[in-house]
Structure 1
Amino acid sequence: MTRGPARLDVSVGYALPRAGLPAAVSFRRWVAAALSGRIREADLAVRLVDEAEGRALNRHYRGKDYATNVLSFPADIAEGVKLPKGVKMPLLGDLVLCAPVVAREAREQGKRLNDHYAHLTVHGALHLLGWDHEDAREAECMEALEREILAALGISDPYRDELDA
């Protein structure tokens, strides 16, 4: 069993009907697996959205006019900034998963829907920790870590088809 951070607070919000979507407990388990051994405490939010909201967020924050599978918003709190009363550190950030895009990709790639959600949740959580895939070396390292985390969860290599191509 993968142990997560010493203190982990994951808020999961559904901005669309929950039918067919993973339960909040699944997202918490996937985040805990991604953060295990990498951070001691974390507060973050996971939000599942429809295509219109996913597109609007991607357009506003990344300048790309389409809905994407996962967006990561690290909580960059500047040193010396006083947080509002009741807000505790460490704020790690927010993940936004676009349910229709995730479902379409899972279908097209022949993946189990929950496995794809697990992968994208792990991927997004690693982005919140500062991992990236801007160049080939970074991508190789991040993908290897994703494979390791997912294997510990009993999920097969999400990049296997790309390796066979």
Structure 2
Amino acid sequence: MLDVDCDIVGGDWDEDADWETLAETAVRAALDGAGQGRLVQLSDALVEVSVRLTDDAEMQRLNRDYRGKDKPTNVLSFPMHAPDDLERWLAAGETDLLLGDLALGAETVTREADEKGISVDAHMLHLMVHGTLHLLGHDHLDDETAEAMEALETRILAGLGIANPYAETGWAAVDERQ
């Protein structure tokens, strides 16, 4: 079972939007696309992800405190386990796994969606898929891993009806090397 807890704690997020369903859709798609869908298919298993919707001021603090980059960003991922722990978790028959936390900044997310000419929902799906892949141990610290992660993201997003976010402009909205 998958439990995605989504809380608005700051920023100008649409209070009427169903962010929790959007987040669950993105997390489930990322798990499936990355070959980890079995984590939530076990009948007695509980996989948890927390999503924090906040403002750019908090995102800047988090980015500074945890990554040494004193500027706001669109999404941050805080994995609770090393990637190898997931396989050990399955092998040991554990039933509860807190996969990690995602944080997203309203102003940056909205501005980027406007710049790309896409809906905030579509951009949020992309960012939450991207963030979940980080929770699973994927990264983009060099060209090779960036290409692999972008290809995986693109495939997952296509399954959600979202166009390749990297195709036309080469815009890497979630490129943490920025």
Q: Which bin holds the TM-score, normalised by the shorter protein?
A: 0.7 to 0.9
Counterpart position of 1:33: 29
> Does 1:70 find its partner at 2:72?
no
> Does 1:51 find its partner at 2:56?
yes
**Are the counterparts in 2 of residues 22 and 114 from structure 1 also a CA contact under 8 Å?**
no
SS across alignment from 1:90:
strand
* Structure 2 CA distance for partners of 1:163 and 1:68, relative to 1, 3 Å: closer
CA distance in 1, matches of 2:18, 2:141: 29
Q: Which runs of 5+ in 2 are unaligned?
A: 41-46, 86-94, 172-178
SS across alignment from 2:101:
strand
Q: What are the within-5 Å matches in structure 2 for residues 82-161 of structure 1?
A: 89-161=96-168
CA distance in 1, matches of 2:126, 2:23: 10
CA distance in 2, matches of 1:107, 1:11: 26
TM-score, with structure 2 as normaliser: 0.77
Percentage of matched positions with identical amino acids: 48
TM-score, with structure 1 as normaliser: 0.83
**Are the counterparts in 2 of residues 47 and 96 from structure 1 also a CA contact under 8 Å?**
yes
Q: Which runs of 5+ in 1 are unaligned?
A: 1-6, 80-87
**Are the counterparts in 2 of residues 55 and 66 from structure 1 also a CA contact under 8 Å?**
yes
**Among candidates 10, 14, 19, match of residue 23 of structure 1:** 19
CA distance in 1, matches of 2:116, 2:168: 8
CA distance in 2, matches of 1:162, 1:91: 36
**Are the counterparts in 1 of residues 77 and 101 from structure 2 also a CA contact under 8 Å?**
yes
SS across alignment from 2:139:
coil
Of residues 114-123 and 153-162 in structure 1, the stretch that sits farther from structure 2 once superposed is 153-162
**Are the counterparts in 1 of residues 13 and 106 from structure 2 also a CA contact under 8 Å?**
no
